[in-house]
Each structure stands twice: as C-alpha cells, then as structure tokens.
Amino acid sequence: MAKNRKWTHLAVFIMAKIVLLDIDSTLNNFQEHFLNVFSQKYPDLYSKLPESASHYDALKLNRDFSMKILQEDGFNEKMVPLEGAPEAVEELDRRGYLIYFCTALVTDHSNTMRDRVEWIGKWFGEKWMERVIFTKDKTMVRGDFLIDDSPFKTRGNLNPTWKLIVFDVSYNREDECYGRIFGWKNTKPLFDLLESE
C-alpha cells in the first residue's frame, strides 16, 4: 500500500503544471520603490522624467545613476509585496502547481541576487528560497506559464515552453500575451487562465 502511495505522489508531481513567477513589479512594488529612491537621490533628474514614468525611463535618462540604485546593498529588502501576492503564491501551492521564482541574472558583483533570495524568504517563507532561478534568458527555463510584467521576456534563444501571462502595468498594455491579470487580491482570473488548458 505504501508503495502505491509513493508512485501516486510521483505521478502527481510529474503532472503538476510549472508556474514561473517574475519578482520585480510582478510580486513587489519595485517601480514605486525605485522611483522614490531616484527622486531622493537625484531630484533634478527626477524632474525630467515623464508623467507616470517607469524605471525604464530613468535608465534611458541616466543609466549609471539608475544602476547605482539597483546595485545598492539593501535596495531589495526595502521593497514590500504587492497586496495579496504572498497569499496567491500559497494558493498556487495548495492547488498543486509547481512554483519557481524566475528573475533577471545580475553579474555586476553586487549583493543583489543574495538580497533578492533573502527578500523571498522574508515575505513568502524560507521554503521558497531554494526555488529562485536567475537567468538572462527566460526562454531557457522550462515551464507551463510565466507571469511577468515584461512581455519582451518571450524573446530569447529558444521558443518558450511557457505561455506568458502579463501582470498588468502601464508600460505593457499594448503588448500581446496569452492572458493578463490585474493584481493578486482576486485570484479567480488567474486560475481561469491556468486551468483553461
């Protein structure tokens, strides 16, 4: 009997859909936090940003200053999750989805990657700290779905195995995708997309 339970558990694990979750501006308040720090450090530059600016606008305006902010120790730890995000991840887990956090690789010798893993542990639980994938090319990562604020992540060396679900923000509203969600508090639209396959 125990042997049968073992194989049943293995079969469920193999059949589980893999959901890749971007971190910045998908699970946390990255944009708000970055622009707040940018305005404090470089108020003259900040005044030149367009209305409803994103970090992409700041990078175009002055990449060096913007990167200094992103590479600063403690930048990640001062962000907070978007409302409902930790609960949504737990719900995904309870429903049997295999979850990995999939975020950009950082090769600037800063502590950014360490800080990001610790941030996941702090807000989502230590069990998730081993589920963080760093990559420059998300098409190289196997999955069934990727939830991300950046639609251009579909471009890479491979045709992605995952379907893109865009997390809605002002700079991605013209982009095509498999589906779109508008927050984490109401998870019904998300599960409608995940379970429509």
| Least confident span in 96-100, 101-105, 113-117, 150-154 | 150-154
Distance CA 197, CA 195 (A): 5
Please check whether residue 100 is in contact with residue 17, taking contact to mean a CB–CB distance below 8 angstroms.
Answer: no
Please check whether residue 115 is in contact with residue 77, taking contact to mean a CB–CB distance below 8 angstroms.
Answer: yes
Per-residue pLDDT at 51: 87
Per-residue pLDDT at 8: 47
Per-residue pLDDT at 3: 53
Per-residue pLDDT at 74: 86
Distance CA 102, CA 24 (A): 10
**Percent of the chain residues past pLDDT 70, beyond the cut:** 92
* Strand order across the beta sheet in which 163-167 lies: 132-135, 98-104, 18-21, 145-148, 163-167, 179-181
Give the 3-state secondary structure of residue 146. Answer: strand
Distance CA 104, CA 92 (A): 22
Residue 1 has pLDDT above 90, yes or no: no
Query: pLDDT tens, 114-138?
Result: 999 999 999 999 999 999 999 999 9
Domains in the chain: ranges and CATH: 2-29+81-194 (3.40.50.1000), 33-70 (no CATH)
Distance CA 115, CA 189 (A): 31
Query: pLDDT tens, 7-27?
Result: 545 444 557 899 999 999 999
Quick one: CA torsion of 177, 182, 186, 190, rounded to 10 degrees? 10
Per-residue pLDDT at 58: 93
Residue with tokens 């069990």: 127
Rounded to the nearest 5°, which phi and psi values hold at 25? Answer: 65, 5
DSSP-assigned letter for residue 80: -
DSSP states of 6-74 as a string? HHHHHHHHHHPPEEEE--TTTTB-HHHHHHHHHHHH-HHHHTTSPTT--HHHHHHH-HHHHHHHHTSTT
How does residue 4 score in pLDDT terms, banded at 50, 70 and 90?
A: low
Report CA-CA distances (Å) from 27 to 48, 170, 195: 28, 16, 21
Q: How confident is the model over 182-190, as a mean pLDDT?
A: 96
Per-residue pLDDT at 118: 95
How does residue 108 score in pLDDT terms, banded at 50, 70 and 90?
A: confident
